[in-house]
Structure 1
Amino acid sequence: MTLSRGLAATLLLALPQLALAAELDGRQLTPLWAVPFVGILLSIALMPLLALRFWHHHYGKVTAAWALAFLVPFALTFGFGAAAASFVHALLAEYLPFVILLTALFTVAGGIYIRGNLHGSPGLNTGILAVGAVLASFMGTTGASMLLIRPLIRANDNRRHKAHVVVFFIFIVANAGGSLTPLGDPPLFLGFLKGVDFFWTLRNIFPETLFLLGTLLVLFYALDSWFYRRREEFQPVDPTPDTRAIGFDGARNFWLLAVIVALVLMSGTWESGVHFDVLGTQVGLPGLLRDIGLVAVTLVSLQLTPASVHRDNQFSWGPMAEVAKLFAGIFLTIIPVIAMLRAGVDGPFGAIVAAVTRPDGTPDPAMYFWATGALSSFLDNAPTYLVFFNTAGGDPAVLMTTMAPTLAAISAGAVFMGANTYIGNAPNLMVKAIAEDRGVKMPSFFGYMAWSGAVLVPLFVLITFIWFR
């Protein structure tokens, strides 16, 4: 009882400091404060390649260690109040809304099973990729990938060459298709949380997206047709004959997807003067109701979905738990990085700001496109988007208007180039793992990069010259 009273008294004494904690001044920091952020991203990128077994069992501990490597020195240097205020802001303003939306999309998509066994002709495969590209912007790249990758693999399981089908699926469904709404890809949802309008990306990078997706679909159809016409392409017996009619099990979840879209739209269009101050962080009523509604949708989906659907989909919480743990560390360790970038050319990362700035002081959209894309290829596109969003000033009103080309370049770079490697976007590795589990011999890490280098990079060069000069 005495200990509880002591803790309560300490917290009460700290409350004024917490509520009034000033925004962190990046000019006071050194690049060493970025080490935990870089460390956690490099751990995500390299440890699955160098120490897969260790990473699989201890990624949560590694993430927690990097988070503490930032938070403890930060509290000792700047005080408990500043550390607690920064922690609460990252938790309530960014992390929880992000994870709640991903959990809702993951759960609802996992409750829909496409039964039956289609037969993978070039036309059918291209059609599935096109449908996935559309769905990705409304149910997320993760949701669309989990919904369609298994039936696509079943449709092609009697073919000898199918790795290219999965590679283009990653290009189109797991990445580029999610570029038009905040529901589509985590980077855009972070922008939405920062104040970017829900339909802004649809209005501003639709031509680039249409060009990229259209070209990829044409290239895939040509390549798949070439394989399809080869005499030795088909096995004599279909490995998974399925006499059940084509259809959906768990179709009620489509209605829940519509509810998710409505909740996100509501939170972005309803302006309410009701705000709750939590240790200096403003929590608006629309966002709060959105998150409560998304949690309710998740619970309803779990209740309504038959166990057989989850079993057929091989649904498990492992992928979602990994994303939640990893991004908890990312959202914490990125705090000083954002502060240093916001300091502009006067801050520790002035060289980065200068690299994406023209001699006359205006931002260079082409450099933002390639800088965001290059880092998104290896360091996960969600935090990379956040880094360059803040490098460009971090003011959504300015970025959506006078700096619209810059925000378009950041958005396109983060979403498009997340497809350059297996680790650029969370669904990439999930799709690869599912394909390998179903017997598809996928390219190695560098083999996949050879595909993306040959197919995607030339298209990105064209996009640069057409839209981001």
Structure 2
Amino acid sequence: MYFAVLAAASLPLLVASPALGAETAAAHGGGLSPLWGLPFLGVLLSIALMPLAAGRVWHHHYGKISAGWAALFLVPYALAFGPEAAWEEFAHVLVQEYLPFLALLLALYTTGGGVLLRGTLVGTPAVNTALLAAGTALASVMGTTGASMVLIRPVLRANAFRRRKTHTFVFFIFLVSNIGGSLTPLGDPPLYLGFLKGVAFFWPTTHLFDKFLFCAALLLAAHHALDRLAWARERPVPPPRSAAREALRVEGWLNVALLGAVLAVVLGMGVAPLREVSVLGQPIGLERLLGMAAFLAITLLSVRLTPARLREQNGFSWGAMAEVAKLFAAIFVTMAPVLAILRAGREGAAAGLVALTSTPEGQPIPATYFWLTGALSSFLDNAPTYLVFFNLAGGDPARLMTQGAPTLAAISCGAVFMGANSYIGNAPNFMVKAIVEEQGVRMPSFFGYCAWAAAVLIPLFVLLTLLFF
């Protein structure tokens, strides 16, 4: 509720602010040194190491630590390029990236947390794999965040009696929070950006389905085998069978409708662009401002109209949302110079990487696009990373959807699939981790999760490259 009120109060202030009338200085990343990426590295290492080395300090002060890293970028930036440039960089991140991200995430988190799946669910290997398969299928319809928020709590309840269950939540992130969102622009933000750039709505459905099916089938099979092994080792005692097993049913249909409204707003922003307005000096489409206002209205409706009993039975709290909001604020700010360097292409400090994407004759190499887009999407926000390589490949949707289809498919798969390689590759990853830990289940550390990804996903992506790219 606090986030909705805060964001709602900020909208009039944003619209009323005077324009500064220039692009952000970091948008031209050709002259930026890689050293500007050190604060971003500091945020990553803090997320990875401090919960292990100083857990008490991190738990109570992670917001202040994150803000400190953001300041360690903005203050030197102001000294190097001037206070106006630093303010404009901050305004660019706030208006163009962070507030739209937060408003959408808040609406999905709130509505998803108001949908309660009741019924007798016992976390056997078959049931767990079926739940992951259902979430994977839903992710392209309601988005990876929406599907994750709706299904993570039923999976938690189904496995409450088990000790060996961490692997199920790791595979949940792999499948529901990432790979499942690869078939439509509603599924994952990178594909939505492609849709806004002119990629046809069903292009991912037709061109990524075989890659999606290959990865999803192998991961579901791997999870089922691993869960059977864990079940055999643990020999858990399931809850006693009652005389009348409760049939599966959904409560909170109002929130199902509100979740549909969120998706309709997202789609509407893409198909009905309006004139641009200036917000804190940044040009932004009026449809995006109206979309943010709609997300906040949907959030408030969900909060006001959902019975407190239903949220309580669903194990809902605002803690996970608060953690994601604070950490990703620092991530978005400190990530800006890294993305600017990438956008500079062959004129920037990442020119060596950019040169790997094409042959000496200038022909694109889909496998390289897949791995470079994916590797950077593992730690940077996968949506702007997709856009960087989309533009690097020419940026013409008509050509990329036809003769450039292998390259566009590689970029799309890299951004969506490899967002699963770390907790910060895609917003739902960290949110699922936070919700699971709120319920007292221990999740792998940052590096521990990356080790899971290296062991399971990297061999899968190597096979994907050999077969498709």
The answer to whether the superposition gives a TM-score over 0.5 is yes
CA contact 1:93–1:193 (8 Å) conserved in 2: no
Secondary structure, counterpart of 2:410 in structure 1: helix
CA contact 1:369–1:412 (8 Å) conserved in 2: yes
The amino acid across from 1:103 in the alignment is: L
- The range that moved more, 141-150 or 255-264, is 141-150
Aligned length: 452
The amino acid across from 1:185 in the alignment is: D
The alpha-carbon distance between structure 1 residues 242 and 357, as it changes in their structure 2 partners (threshold 3 A), is farther
Matches within 5 A, 1:97-108: 97-108=100-111
Instruction: Quote the offset at 1:203 in angstroms.
Output: 4.2
Task: Report sequence identity in percent.
Answer: 58
Q: TM-score, normalised by structure 2?
A: 0.82
The aligned counterpart of 1:254 is: 256
CA contact 1:27–1:343 (8 Å) conserved in 2: yes
1:229-281 deviation per Cα after TM superposition (whole angstroms, max 9, x unaligned): x5973416549999655322222111111111111111101133x22133542
CA contact 1:342–1:393 (8 Å) conserved in 2: no
Question: Which of 174, 178, 184 lines up with 1:175 in the alignment?
Answer: 178
Instruction: Quote the offset at 1:423 in angstroms.
Output: 5.1
Question: Which of 4, 26, 38 lines up with 2:41 in the alignment?
Answer: 38
CA contact 2:128–2:155 (8 Å) conserved in 1: yes
The CA distance in 2 between the partners of 1:282 and 1:451, in whole Å, is: 41
Q: Which runs of 5+ in 1 are unaligned?
A: 1-13
The CA distance in 1 between the partners of 2:453 and 2:358, in whole Å, is: 28
Question: Which of 75, 79, 85 lines up with 2:78 in the alignment?
Answer: 75
The CA distance in 1 between the partners of 2:349 and 2:79, in whole Å, is: 21
Q: TM-score, normalised by structure 1?
A: 0.82
The aligned counterpart of 2:127 is: 124
The alpha-carbon distance between structure 1 residues 48 and 180, as it changes in their structure 2 partners (threshold 3 A), is farther
The amino acid across from 2:344 in the alignment is: A
Instruction: Quote the offset at 1:101 in angstroms.
Output: 0.7
The amino acid across from 1:40 in the alignment is: V
- RMSD (CA atoms): 3.5
The aligned counterpart of 1:351 is: 352
The aligned counterpart of 1:313 is: 314
CA contact 1:182–1:198 (8 Å) conserved in 2: yes
CA contact 2:95–2:280 (8 Å) conserved in 1: no
The CA distance in 2 between the partners of 1:47 and 1:386, in whole Å, is: 32
Matches within 5 A, 1:373-412: 373-378=374-379, 381=382, 385=386, 388=389, 403-412=404-413
Instruction: Quote the offset at 1:389 in angstroms.
Output: 5.3
1:17-76 deviation per Cα after TM superposition (whole angstroms, max 9, x unaligned): x21457643233222222223322333333333332222222222222222222223233
Instruction: Quote the offset at 1:284 in angstroms.
Output: 1.6
The aligned counterpart of 1:52 is: 55
Instruction: Quote the offset at 1:132 in angstroms.
Output: 0.5
The alpha-carbon distance between structure 1 residues 240 and 173, as it changes in their structure 2 partners (threshold 3 A), is farther
Secondary structure, counterpart of 1:359 in structure 2: coil
The CA distance in 1 between the partners of 2:113 and 2:241, in whole Å, is: 24
The CA distance in 2 between the partners of 1:99 and 1:379, in whole Å, is: 16
The amino acid across from 1:409 in the alignment is: A
The amino acid across from 2:170 in the alignment is: V
The CA distance in 2 between the partners of 1:205 and 1:121, in whole Å, is: 31
The aligned counterpart of 2:460 is: 459
The aligned counterpart of 2:369 is: 368
The aligned counterpart of 1:9 is: none
Instruction: Quote the offset at 1:224 in angstroms.
Output: 4.4
Secondary structure, counterpart of 1:271 in structure 2: coil
- The range that moved more, 301-310 or 335-344, is 335-344
1:365-418 deviation per Cα after TM superposition (whole angstroms, max 9, x unaligned): 212322333344456645655665566577777766665544432332233223
CA contact 2:37–2:335 (8 Å) conserved in 1: yes
CA contact 2:135–2:180 (8 Å) conserved in 1: yes
1:340-386 deviation per Cα after TM superposition (whole angstroms, max 9, x unaligned): 22222222221222233433344432123223333444566456556
